[in-house]
Amino acid sequence: MASTLFYGCTIFAGAFLLFQIQPLIAKVILPWFGGTAAVWTTCLVFFQMVLLLGYLYAHWTTEHLPGRFQAGLHVALLAASLLLVPVYPNPAWKPNGSEDPILRILGLLFATVGLPYFLLASTGPLMQAWYVASRSGAFPYRFYALSNAASMLALLSYPLLLEPFASTRTQAHAWSAGYGLFVALSMVLALRRRRSPEFVRPDGSDTETAAPAGWAVRLLWIALPACASALLLAVTNHLTQNIASIPFLWIVPLSLYLLSFILCFDRDTWYHRALFLRLLAMALAIMAYTLTEDLETVDLKVLIPIFSAALFVCSMVCHGELARLKPHPRYLTSYYLMIALGGAVGGMLVGYAAPRVFGGYYELPVAIALCGALALMVLFRDSATPLYRGGQPATWVVILGVYAAILVCLAMGVQSSVKGYRVRERNFYGSLRVSDQGAEEIATRKLMNGSINHGEQFLDPGRSRTPTTYYGRNSGVGLALLNSGRQPQRVGVIGLGAGTLAAYGRKDDYYRFYEINPQVIRLAHSEFRFLRESEARVEVVLGDARLSLEREAPQQFDVLAVDAFSSDSIPVHLLTREAFQLYFRHLKPDGILAVHVSNRYLELEPVVERIATALGRQCLSFDTEDDHIHNVFGATWVLVSSRPGLFDQPVFSRAGIRIQPHPNLRVWTDDYSNLVRILK
């Protein structure tokens, strides 16, 4: 009993640390790569690949090395990994804007947490194999449920218990201390392994049970977790890019994915095959139908639960069928290796291949279709299932008819997503679409990134220089540009979009835009006319705005507009005290900082107010309403300045609102931010 508890504690600690480091390291590097949700997807791909390597290491050592050599090698690697703690990314890995961000992130993660994560990843299968070797007749698979429970606990506790109360450096040091304890536990078990016998071989009465699985079963060991992994990343992309980029929304799908692992490997009764296969048909059909609908007309409170529940059902089927195929404990390391390989394949297809192959977010329709096909294969393979009662033709007609209807819905959804667009492109930073709408003098051209409008321009030459969407003349940034008191003026803009703010440019003005996405820059020049029709001299700088500003000499801007918050997913690194200090270094002493804080889910005004107060600046909030005649959207801007009497001028005082300080909000820094505190 004591030995089982010790193994359980080590496996639990390893899995907990494995999933604590994921959100921590992703949060640290998120600012370096523009704050896009694709950073998290790329991190998941890395973690799945290293998980595969960890499982491969566990399989190879237990199959080919005697117990004492297994233990010796593992102790040596554990000791070497301590040289890399405390884990914290080196700033030298910050991008310069020209390299492939995916490869840069993968290299950064490998250099920072590669070996510790590799050893944590190997812990589950390796410790279970050692446990089997130490106890005759041991059944280790509930340890797999335990490890997934620890992973889920770590994932959920990070945004609720750790992030709100500690800086990232403090988190990294705490994690490193926990890793040291894990290393100590692992070394104790390694020393015990040196004295344990080799694997307990099955006796003659258990020959059939202990026989190795055939290739058909092994392919299912890969295909089932690959399908679940692909659906996890595809649904996460869909939720964060196409429905609502709510911060930490990726926690919901990943938690449900882990929960399915926990249930399916805890005991067989959780996965009731007949029930979940019927639910799978419903889940796939509902997701397929939903993809044909206009997302802007559907309530988010309905869509998010739909896709979350559907992912859970799909994961339960994939992992439930996987658990039904688990082999004799003698072969558990090869079994876990195939599971890790499947997870890595699914992750690579969605996280690495899809952005390069697809022009939009088509991985979800593909994953839905593959999940249905895989379920049909499982049904066809196992004639014992009660669903088609020995293969009656009429039942098969119904099943295949449902699947055909699902495929039709998916095809319709893909067709509607490409119809009517002048341009549709995708890269690491998102999916961009350009379309024309309206007629005659109200006709406009629109740039969309996911479900977020990034600018519109009137096609009528007489109105093409009219500032639209979030940038109307009565908006906060419009008032700042029109009433800065400087002529000519130097203007900096973080975030290009369609280039709308260039419409304010006058003769001898200078406008300098900072944009991280090269496709946005190309489309702003080729599809829109704001930049080329502006009377000002316009320059566009490629790369993350903050990193670019850090490298540049002071620009002496009269107005600096921070417009990276028009979507609902915010790059937090642009809303910290250090970021504001950088902005004011590039502003003239009496310049104006204009921060766009429109957001459906977060109260960002108190964040800006807290930082402005800490830096001795004044600020006002400007909230405007929709103006359909001029194609202007309601928007919230906060103006910050140290110029005496600026906000006493009637043009500002009449429209501006003093921001009430948030009583429980700390100043955000590069090491600390808390999104939970400002949720609406």
Residue 346 lies in a domain: yes
Pair (278, 316) in one structural domain: yes
Mean pLDDT of 35-60: 84
pLDDT at 242 over 60: no
Q: Are residues 412 and 440 in the same domain?
A: no
pLDDT at 210: 58
- For residue 398, the model assigns a pLDDT of 66
What pLDDT does 364 receive? Answer: 87
Q: What is the separation of C-alpha 638 from the centre of its chain, rounded to a whole number of angstroms?
A: 28
- pLDDT score at 612: 95
For residue 114, what is the domain's CATH number? 1.20.1250
Query: Does 499 share its domain with 471?
Result: yes
Instruction: Check residue 677 and give its pLDDT.
Output: 76
In this predicted structure, what is the pLDDT of residue 202?
39
**pLDDT for residue 1 is more than 70:** no
Q: What is the pLDDT of residue 412?
A: 72
Q: Is residue 311 over pLDDT 90? A: yes
Does residue 429 sit within a domain? no
- Predicted confidence (pLDDT) at residue 390 exceeds the cutoff of 60: no
Of 96-100, 317-321, 444-448, minimum mean pLDDT range:
96-100
d(CA 622, CA 636): 6
Contact 447, 454 (CB under 8 A): yes
Please check whether residues 455 and 581 belong to one and the same domain. yes
388: confidence class by pLDDT, cuts 50, 70, 90:
very low
pLDDT at position 294 = 57
Q: Tens digits of per-residue pLDDT, 559-612?
A: 999 987 544 456 677 889 999 999 999 999 999 999 998 877 778 899 999 999
Residue 81 located in a structural domain: yes
Residue 650 lies in a domain: yes
Higher pLDDT, 672 or 199: 672
Residues of the chain above pLDDT 90, percent: 36
Q: Does 236 have pLDDT greater than 90? A: no
Instruction: Tell me: do 163 and 238 sit in the same domain.
Output: no
Give residue 200's pLDDT: 46
Phi and psi angles of residue 382, each rounded to the nearest 5 degrees, phi first: -110, 100
State whether the Cα torsion 128-129-134-139 is positive or negative: positive
pLDDT (tens digit per residue) in 177-199: 999 999 999 999 888 777 665 54
330 or 499, higher pLDDT: 499
Same domain, 383 and 359: yes
Strands 490-494 and 510-515: parallel
Write the single-letter amino acid at 521.
I
Q: Please give the residue range of the domain that contains residue 667.
A: 435-678
Mean per-residue pLDDT of the chain? 84
Residue 447: inside a domain: yes
Q: Which two tokens stand for residue 502?
A: 């260039």
Show the 3-state SS of 67-120.
HHHHHHHHHHHHHHHHHHCCCCCCHHHCCCCCCCHHHHHHHHHHHHHHHHHHHH
What mean pLDDT do residues 344-356 have? 85
- Tokens for 525, please give them: 């020049």
pLDDT at 408 exceeding the cut of 90? no
| Position 206 pLDDT exceeds 50 | no
Q: Residue 39's pLDDT is what?
A: 80
CATH number at residue 530: 3.40.50.150
DSSP letter, residue 677: G
Claim to verify: residue 444 and residue 593 sit in the same structural domain: yes
pLDDT band at 334 (very low <50, low <70, confident <90, very high): confident
Strand partners, 618: 641
Residue 426 counted as domain residue? no
**Long-range CB contacts (within 8 A, 24+) of 21-26:** 21/87, 21/113, 21/116, 21/117, 21/120, 21/175, 22/47, 22/155, 23/155, 23/158, 23/159, 23/163, 24/158, 24/168, 24/171, 24/172, 24/175, 25/87, 25/89, 25/109, 25/112, 25/113
Give the number of domains in the chain: 3
Q: Are residues 355 and 380 in the same domain?
A: yes
Of the three residues 419, 444, 467, the one that is the final residue of a domain is 419
Name the phi and psi angles at 389, rounded to 5.
50, 60
Q: What share of the chain is helix, strand, coil (3-state, %, to 5)?
A: 60, 10, 30
Q: Which amino acid is at 426?
A: R
Same domain, 112 and 39: yes
Specify the pTM. 0.77
pLDDT of 411 reads: 77
For residue 260 the two structure tokens come to 């399915």
Is 425 inside a domain boundary?
no
Q: Average pLDDT for residues 378-402, to the nearest whole number? A: 61
Indicate if the pLDDT at residue 129 is higher than 90. no
Residue 424 located in a structural domain: no
Q: Of 391, 419, 447, which closes a domain?
A: 419
Both 47 and 85 in one domain: the answer is yes
pLDDT of residue 595: 94
Which of residues 419, 452, 476 is at a domain's end?
Answer: 419
Q: List the strands of the sheet with 423-427, edge to edge.
A: 423-427, 430-437, 444-449, 452-458
387 vs 361, more confident: 361
My answer on whether 69 and 40 are in the same domain is: yes
Q: How many CA atoms lie within 13 A of 9 on its CB side?
A: 15
Compute CA 621 distance to the chain's CA centroid, rounded to the nearest angstrom.
Answer: 30
Q: Are residues 450 and 554 in the same domain?
A: yes
